[in-house]
Chains A and B, each alone.
Chain A
Amino acid sequence: MRRAHLRRMGFYRRALLPVLLAPAIARAQQTTWLLNQDNAQIGFSARHLGLFSSHGRFTRFEARLELDATRTTDALVEGRIQTAAVTLPFPGAEDTLRSPTYFDSARFPEARFSGRAVGITDAGAFTINGRMRIRDIEQPFAMTARLAERRRESQGDVARFTASGQVQRSAFGMVADRTFTADAISISVEVQLLV
Chain B
Amino acid sequence: MSDAPDRWSLAQRRLHWWSAALVVLTGVLAVLMVWLPFSEMLAKFLAYQLHKTFGLLVFSVVLARLALRALRPAPALEGLSPGVLRLAGIGQAGMYALLLAVPVLGWLAAQAAAGPVPTTIFLVIPVPHVLDPNPALYAWLRPVHQVAAYTLLGLAALHAALAVKHHRQGVPVFRRMGW
Q: Is the CB of A88 within 8 A of B115?
A: yes
Interface string of A160-188 (1 = CB under 8 A from B): 00000000000000000101110000000
Q: Is the CB of B118 within 8 A of A51?
A: yes
Work out how many contacts link A and B, with CB atoms closer than 8 A.
37
- Report Cα–Cα, A99/B42, bound state, in Å: 17
Partner pick for A51 among B39, B41, B120, CB 8 A cutoff: B120
Number of interface residues of B (CB under 8 A): 15
Q: Is the CB of A91 within 8 A of B41?
A: no
Name A97's closest neighbour in chain B (CB-CB). Answer: B38
- Report Cα–Cα, A89/B114, bound state, in Å: 6
- Chain A interface bracket (under 10, 10 to 19, 20 to 34, 35 or more): 10 to 19
Name A95's closest neighbour in chain B (CB-CB). Answer: B38
- Report Cα–Cα, A49/B42, bound state, in Å: 9
Q: Is the CB of A89 within 8 A of B39?
A: no
Collect the chain B residues with CB atoms within 8 Å of residue A88's CB: 115
Q: Is the CB of A177 within 8 A of B38?
A: no
Within 8 A of A (CB), among B101-132: 113-118, 120, 123
Within 8 A of A (CB), among B34-68: 37-39, 41-42, 45
Residues of B that sit less than 8 Å from A by CB: 37-39, 41-42, 45, 113-118, 120, 123, 133
Residues of A that sit less than 8 Å from B by CB: 48-49, 51-52, 54, 88-93, 95-96, 99, 101, 177, 179-181
**The 7 residue pairs across chains A and B that have the minimum distance between CB atoms:** A92-B38, A89-B115, A89-B114, A180-B42, A90-B115, A96-B38, A52-B118
